[in-house]
């Protein structure tokens, strides 16, 4: 196999991307249950600290990245076609990465969180490498570090531009964040976006950033389980919600945005499925976790219309758009949709079922393609 290094885009400050949206944590922080409120407040405080840290280092890392990028890629390209995973134990502290507990090829740990993280990183690597021929999330063999047991009762998992970090959850609202493999695929896919289209994390481009992570996170799960588009549940974070949540199945549903939960504790899932209900807000970077439901639903409609394995055609179109170099960093839904139409034509021809299905999917969610 011949490998080509992926061109490195102009540096943009790395962003902090977490799986549990701020609107859920904010609601929980106001809960009448003291334990729920405390866990949410701790999580919000930790997330705010990480966001500030990302901004603080942006200037110096952007300069360093621009000079070191080519050399790093050249060095990475000599590595084997296999994941380079390292799992650390943060030991319930907030200093990262923590103590190294498992390296690539090491025997399984007695710690289930360590083993799930290791397996999830491998499943994500496998999708990108075996399906799309991509060597890790940056296309050049990037190592995949992760830290488990972050903080105490930390109700989130995040990608900080360099590594994956998992909380244990509080055990009541949220369980261990290493449990759903699509959560791992989602967060690592923020790294994929960081090294490809580099979509700005605000407004519609930010919602696309989140949606792309949901798309590839779901594909990681489907590929690992050998599921067709018809077999898949199209849920993000299924198995994550704890016993205190009575009416909820996951964090998001790509099949039916707005239906993942409707619960006295979590509230009502606010995701729209179409542009008719697009949410205009200044919170959560312009609603990136909410409005991502619209492109999510378009992908679901495309994948199920085409049938078979979602990564073979629908996933190939999305991957081609992300790596094709045609998207602006501030891409709108319409720009992304037009790019998928062009990709479908390029990959499968004007008269193919793929082209018609792409047009139908975006039309159904109300995003123009012409």
pLDDT in tens, 292-304: 999 999 999 999 9
How much is the pLDDT for 14?
63
How much is the pLDDT for 13?
55
Residue 131 or 350, more confident: 131
Surface-to-core class of residue 41, CB atoms within 10 Å of its CB (0-12 exposed, 13-18 middle, 19+ buried): middle
**324-337: per-residue pLDDT in tens?**
999 999 999 999 99
4: left (phi over 0), alpha (psi -120 to 50) or beta: beta
How much is the pLDDT for 15?
74
How much is the pLDDT for 62?
37
In 3-state terms the chain splits into helix, strand, coil percentages (rounded to 5) of 45, 10, 45
Buried residues in 83-104 as b, exposed as e (16+ CB within 10 A) = bbbbbbbbeeeeeebbeebbeb
Residue 8 or 67, more confident: 8
Interatomic CA distance for residues 365 and 315, integer angstroms: 18
On average, the pLDDT of the chain sits at: 90
Q: What share of the chain in percent tops pLDDT 90?
A: 85
Q: What is the mean pLDDT of residues 59-73?
A: 35
First-to-final CA distance of the chain: 38
Residue 342 or 67, more confident: 342
How much is the pLDDT for 351?
84
Both tokens of 351, joined, read 């008269």
In this predicted structure, the answer to whether residue 70 has a pLDDT above a threshold of 90 is no
Q: What is the mean pLDDT of residues 178-197?
A: 97
SS3 track for 160-200: CCCCEEECCCCCCCECCCCCCHHHHHHHHHHHHHHCCCCCC
How much is the pLDDT for 49?
86
Residue 46 or 62, more confident: 46
Cβ contacts of residue 171 below 8 Å, gap of 6+? 153, 242
**Prediction pTM value:** 0.91
How much is the pLDDT for 56?
46
Least confident of 42-51, 136-145, 185-194: 42-51
Q: What share of the chain in percent tops pLDDT 70?
A: 88
* Catalytic residue IDs: 187, 289
Surface-to-core class of residue 119, CB atoms within 10 Å of its CB (0-12 exposed, 13-18 middle, 19+ buried): middle
How much is the pLDDT for 370?
86
Q: What is the mean pLDDT of residues 31-45?
A: 95
Domains of the chain: 17-365 (1.10.390.10)
**259-305: per-residue pLDDT in tens?**
999 999 999 999 999 999 999 999 999 999 999 999 999 999 999 99
How much is the pLDDT for 100?
98
In this predicted structure, the answer to whether residue 61 has a pLDDT above a threshold of 70 is no
In this predicted structure, the answer to whether residue 340 has a pLDDT above a threshold of 60 is yes
Q: Which of these, 309, 324, 315, lies nearest to 358 by C-alpha position?
A: 315
Residue 67 or 189, more confident: 189
How much is the pLDDT for 53?
64
Confidence label for 75 from pLDDT (cuts 50, 70 and 90): very low
């Amino acid at each position: 196999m011949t490998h080509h290094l992926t061109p490195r885009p102009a540096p943009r400050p790395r962003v902090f991307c977490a799986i549990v949206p701020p609107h859920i944590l904010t609601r929980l922080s106001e809960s009448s249950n003291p334990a729920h409120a405390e866990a949410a407040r701790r999580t919000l405080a930790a997330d705010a600290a990480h966001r500030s840290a990302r901004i603080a280092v942006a200037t110096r890392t952007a300069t360093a990245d621009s000079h070191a990028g080519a050399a790093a890629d050249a060095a990475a390209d000599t590595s084997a076609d296999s994941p380079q995973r390292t799992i650390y134990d943060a030991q319930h502290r907030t200093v990262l990465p923590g103590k190294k507990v498992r390296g690539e090829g090491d025997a399984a740990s007695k710690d289930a969180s360590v083993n799930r993280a290791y397996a999830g990183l491998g499943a994500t690597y496998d999708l990108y490498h075996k399906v799309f021929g991509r060597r890790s999330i940056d296309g050049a063999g990037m190592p995949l570090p992760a830290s488990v047991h972050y903080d105490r009762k930390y109700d989130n998992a995040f990608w900080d531009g360099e590594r994956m970090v998992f909380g244990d959850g509080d055990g009541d609202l949220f369980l261990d964040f290493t449990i759903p493999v699509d959560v791992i695929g989602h967060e690592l896919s923020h790294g994929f976006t960081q090294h490809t289209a580099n979509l700005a994390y605000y407004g519609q481009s930010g919602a696309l950033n989140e949606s792309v992570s949901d798309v590839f996170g779901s594909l990681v799960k489907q590929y690992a389980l050998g599921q067709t588009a018809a077999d898949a549940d199209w849920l993000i974070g299924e198995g994550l919600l704890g016993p205190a949540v009575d009416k909820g199945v996951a964090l998001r549903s790509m099949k039916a945005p707005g239906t993942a939960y409707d619960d006295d504790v979590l509230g009502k899932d606010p995701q729209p499925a179409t542009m008719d209900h697009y949410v205009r807000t200044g919170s959560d970077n312009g609603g990136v976790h909410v409005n991502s439901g619209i492109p999510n639903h378009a992908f679901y409609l495309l994948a199920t219309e085409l049938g078979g394995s979602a990564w073979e055609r629908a996933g190939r179109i999305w991957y081609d758009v992300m790596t094709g170099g045609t998207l602006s960093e501030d891409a709108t839904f319409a720009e992304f949709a037009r790019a998928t139409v062009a990709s479908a034509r390029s990959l499968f021809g004007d008269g193919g079922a793929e082209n018609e299905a792409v047009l139908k999917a975006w039309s159904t969610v109300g995003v123009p393609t012409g």
